[in-house]
Chain A
Amino acid sequence: MTRELKYLGDRVARGMMDRRAFMGRAAALGVSAGMANTILAGAVQAAGAMKGGILRAGLQGGESTNSLDPATWASSVPIEFGRTWAEPLVDVSPKGEIEFRIAESVEASPDAKVWTFKIRKGVEFHNGKAVTPEDVVATLRRHSDKNSKSGALGIVKGITDMKADGDYVVLTLDQANADLPYLMADYHLMIQPGGGIDKPDAGIGTGPYKVAENQPGVRHVGTRFENYWDAGNRGHADRVEVVVINDATARLSALQSGQVDMINRVEPKVVKLVKRIPGVSVRNVSGRGHYVFVMHVNTAPFDNNHLRLALKLAINRKEMVDKILQGYGSVGNDFPINAAYPLFPDDIPQREYDPEKAAFHYKKSGHSGSILLRTSDVAFPGAVDAAQLFQQSAKAAGITLDIKREPGDGYWSEVWNKKPFAASYWSGRPVQDQMYSTAYLSTADWNDTRFFRPDFDKIIIEARGELDPVKRKALYREAAIMVRNEGGLIAPMFNDFIDATNDKVGGWVNDPNGEQMNSMALAKCWRKA
């Protein structure tokens, strides 16, 4: 049946058959309209796709401590390999829209508190079982268990009730949240048979590839799953491989010598040279990740807003983008949102380097003596250099920064979110609400600027339940201005994701959601003949 549908889909894609005829034939084959539409879209999008061959990725971010349990995923390799063998309810498309996967459609109650996902029929796990709404509920339940160690615990804990109802899964939230579908696209929330409760790291999912080899920190191999429900769209190669290459030079030479077809995290300083290698393309896209310095607004001397403003004005953002990112990025504006987000408030003036104004605010703050800034290589690539640039530009405003270089080992547990002024990195989130809820609400788990403002919380919670995009955008603008002018975040730059591929890779689409096409490069690309 699938083969016939695919054949028909290809005919539509080549203009040999019209859409209505296709839908009619599909209905005759007993396929729902939703499924038929997805198949058609896939066929049209992947019209140039080629089947077969091996696709290899050499990636940084894999350790011998990795596991196939999606709840534990935190680095590039398990996530990208995970995207080849498992799928969540929905994905976020490169354009920032919801793309339905295990769920076929979703509806919200008018108060955005009750969300009903229709679960797609005919989707099969690698163990031969069909996906049921019960599997979905069990998966969400596993991740939201209070005792769970899931990285998605913070995302799903607002769900007060979840139940399967026929073909549907109904989620009830404690607060209205217009972004719930985006939260369900989190890479931890991979649908597993029985929720993966019995054996979380079994590696059984619904993705286009089956786990064939799993050697954490070394190599992972997937072979094509013949019964994949969306074969027109994904899973073009016969076999995908992820090789863990944590050394930047080794990664590049593996790409250059053709041992891998794509790599992540090309260092900005070598991009110019990489561009000259024949047969290699650099794929860079501006993302939502940002390199920052965070101040605790409740700790002296950073509890004085004049001092915070002085520091924000004393940083040279353009210089940072040029020297730290080699131009592969964009300047920040001291709030954690950029144009890659839906509903970005684009009319807030850009804060510029202004040593005179900085000196003015510094004087008003009444502070004297030096200020200690902690940094480390692991905070973000070039964080030590960035701190030194900051030191120089602040000096021109009469502000003395002392720089302390902390060991990379233990930086995230001992320095970041503990010390009052430190370099840090945020990888960004698919929607604004999630970014603010993660780090700026009073109740946020990682409020790394100690921003406790009830008036700010009110705006974010109101925006969260607001289904009207115009009103929502206005609310987010207000929130952004508040963080920009009164918060503890100094956001000098947003970094690009820089990947590289050889010329055998087809179907690459830049995706601002994350590196490697939001970790879906192996699942979506194909190998050219």
Chain B
Amino acid sequence: MPMVLKLVAQRIALGLLLLLAVSVLIFAGTQILPGDVAQSILGQSATPTALANLRRDLGLDDPAYIRYFRWLWGVMHGDLGTALSNGQDIATQIGERLGNTLFLAFWAAVVAVPLAITLGLVSVRYRNRWPDRLISTVSLASISLPEFFIGYVLIYYFSARHQWFPSLATVYDGMPLLERLRAIALPVAVLTLVVLAHMMRMTRAAIMNVMQSAYIETAELKGLSAFKVIIRHAFPNAISPIVNVVMINLAYLVVGVVVVEVIFVYPGMGQYLVDHVAKRDVPVVQATGLIFAAVYIALNLIADVVAILSNPRLRHPK
């Protein structure tokens, strides 16, 4: 077991290093963008005096590396700073948005992950027969359509035509849970359709792979039922690729859903990031980028650890 702890510690250290590198990259990226914060905040109708005043107040006259280290120092002390554009505390603002994003991602995952894995298992059980074909066709069709299209179709049918669900998923403080769930029903449906196929196909492929092994044949010859063979004998050996693909999709649900947020007017992190990129609000972009990177790294870390734990061979590398 200490072996595993050491491995996890190594991974975390690597992750942190990666985060640091990502922060430099994001900062460099925001510097390359044309235009400056002051102009973007004040818009087309900015007077030169107002621009100069704003630039001075925001500390934009300092060189880039000084601004970077000043910010890094703050982050290490838990201070994400204040947004340049509206002077609000970034940590509080992001906290709210991140909460919304995780809320949506959580419910999408609650629906999508068990569904995908179950469908994957069912596909294997009835491989190359009609349930398998049906599941494959439907899920591949849904992943082939762009998410905004699925979103609009669902809005048209469930909201404009029949008004069963709201087309606006705007959630706000103090909204009762049930109302919240109703509001996010359509975006959760879209996200589920988008991530379902990937996880389902991976589950199917991973288990099929294992199903070729000799011990599966033994299990079958012992007279075990088909589902029991799949769940008790094949699935445990296919866990690591499945967990990997599940984690990638979970990360996508957190960081990649800006299009869905825009269509359903959901106040999540994606929209928040886009707004602040447009305003050249570097501290916010940095903080958001860092959080996204952290989510990716953390989820991949979990995938790695689960893979190692589930596979004794990886626990004792040569």
CA distance A10 to B146 in the complex (A): 57
CA distance A150 to B41 in the complex (A): 11
Q: Chain B residues near A213: list those with CB within 8 A.
A: 172-173
Given contacts A217-B271, A247-B263, contact A257 B172 (CB under 8 A): no
Question: Could you tell me the distance in whole angstroms from the C-beta of A150 to the nearest C-beta in chain B?
Answer: 7
Contact for A409 among B34, B166, B271, CB less than 8 A? B34
B257-293 interface mask toward A, CB cutoff 8 Å, 1 = contact, 0 = none? Answer: 0000011110100011001111101000000000000
Q: Chain B residues near A215: list those with CB within 8 A.
A: 172-173, 267
Q: Decide yes or no whether A63 CB sits under 8 A from chain B.
A: yes
A149 and B272 contact, CB distance less than 8 A: no
A348-391 interface mask toward B, CB cutoff 8 Å, 1 = contact, 0 = none? Answer: 00000000000000000000000000000000000000000000
Name A115-174 residues within 8 Å CB distance of B. 146-151, 153-154
Q: Decide yes or no whether A256 CB sits under 8 A from chain B.
A: yes
CA distance A146 to B160 in the complex (A): 51
A227-261 interface mask toward B, CB cutoff 8 Å, 1 = contact, 0 = none? Answer: 00000000000000001111101100110111110
Q: Decide yes or no whether A96 CB sits under 8 A from chain B.
A: no
Q: Please tell me the number of chain A residues within 8 Å of chain B, measured between CB atoms.
A: 48
Question: Could you tell me the distance in whole angstroms from the C-beta of A19 to the nearest C-beta in chain B?
Answer: 43
B160 and A65 contact, CB distance less than 8 A: no
Segment at the B interface, from A314-322, A411-419, A504-512:
A411-419
A218 and B53 contact, CB distance less than 8 A: no
B167 and A259 contact, CB distance less than 8 A: yes
Question: Could you tell me the distance in whole angstroms from the C-beta of A381 to the nearest C-beta in chain B?
Answer: 15
Name B147-167 residues within 8 Å CB distance of A. 152, 155-156, 159-160, 163, 166-167
Q: Chain B residues near A67: list those with CB within 8 A.
A: 86-88
Q: Decide yes or no whether B85 CB sits under 8 A from chain A.
A: yes
Main SS class of interface, A: loop
Closest to B172 in A: A219
Q: Chain B residues near A258: list those with CB within 8 A.
A: 163
Given contacts A149-B50, A244-B265, A445-B47, contact A65 B33 (CB under 8 A): no
Contact for B160 among A219, A256, A409, A414, CB less than 8 A? A256
A253 and B35 contact, CB distance less than 8 A: no
Given contacts A147-B53, A253-B159, A257-B166, contact A414 B35 (CB under 8 A): yes
Q: Chain A residues near B256: list those with CB within 8 A.
A: none
A65 and B168 contact, CB distance less than 8 A: no
Q: Chain A residues near B160: list those with CB within 8 A.
A: 253, 256-257
CA distance A412 to B83 in the complex (A): 21
A63 and B275 contact, CB distance less than 8 A: yes
Question: Could you tell me the distance in whole angstroms from the C-beta of A432 to the nearest C-beta in chain B?
Answer: 18
B272 and A257 contact, CB distance less than 8 A: no
A414 and B167 contact, CB distance less than 8 A: no
Q: Decide yes or no whether B91 CB sits under 8 A from chain A.
A: no
Name B163-214 residues within 8 Å CB distance of A. 163, 166-168, 170, 172-173
Question: Could you tell me the distance in whole angstroms from the C-beta of A86 to the nearest C-beta in chain B?
Answer: 17
A245 and B47 contact, CB distance less than 8 A: no
Contact for A65 among B85, B167, B264, CB less than 8 A? B85
Counting chain A CB atoms within 10 Å of each CB, which of B40, B41, B49 scores highest? Answer: B49
Given contacts A74-B45, A245-B265, contact A413 B53 (CB under 8 A): no
Given contacts A217-B275, A256-B160, contact A74 B263 (CB under 8 A): no
Question: Could you tell me the distance in whole angstroms from the C-beta of A443 to the nearest C-beta in chain B?
Answer: 12
Q: Chain A residues near B43: list those with CB within 8 A.
A: 74-75, 151, 412
B39 and A154 contact, CB distance less than 8 A: no
Q: Chain B residues near A74: list those with CB within 8 A.
A: 42-43, 45
Question: Could you tell me the distance in whole angstroms from the C-beta of A189 to the nearest C-beta in chain B?
Answer: 14
Q: Decide yes or no whether A7 CB sits under 8 A from chain B.
A: no
A250 and B262 contact, CB distance less than 8 A: yes
Closest to A251 in B: B265
Q: Decide yes or no whether A30 CB sits under 8 A from chain B.
A: no
Q: Decide yes or no whether A72 CB sits under 8 A from chain B.
A: yes
Contact for B45 among A58, A245, A247, A446, CB less than 8 A? A446
CA distance A43 to B159 in the complex (A): 39
A153 and B49 contact, CB distance less than 8 A: yes
Q: Chain B residues near A244: list those with CB within 8 A.
A: 265
Q: Chain A residues near B172: list those with CB within 8 A.
A: 213, 215, 218-219
Given contacts A74-B42, A146-B49, contact A407 B262 (CB under 8 A): no
Contact for A63 among B39, B45, B279, CB less than 8 A? B279
Which positions in B face A, CB cutoff 8 Å? 33-36, 39-50, 53-54, 57, 83, 85-88, 93, 97, 152, 155-156, 159-160, 163, 166-168, 170, 172-173, 262-265, 267, 271-272, 275-279, 281
Please name 12 further chain A to chain B contacts, defined as beta carbons within 8 Å, in addition to the given A75-B43, A215-B173, A412-B40, sorted by A numbering.
A64-B272, A65-B85, A65-B279, A74-B42, A74-B45, A153-B50, A215-B172, A245-B265, A247-B262, A259-B166, A410-B40, A412-B43
Q: List 15 A-B contacts (CB under 8 A).
A: A63-B275, A64-B272, A65-B83, A65-B281, A74-B45, A146-B53, A151-B42, A153-B49, A153-B50, A244-B265, A246-B262, A247-B262, A257-B167, A412-B43, A414-B34
Which positions in A face B, CB cutoff 8 Å? 58, 63-67, 72, 74-75, 146-151, 153-154, 201, 213, 215-219, 243-247, 249-250, 253-254, 256-260, 407, 409-410, 412-414, 416, 425, 445-446
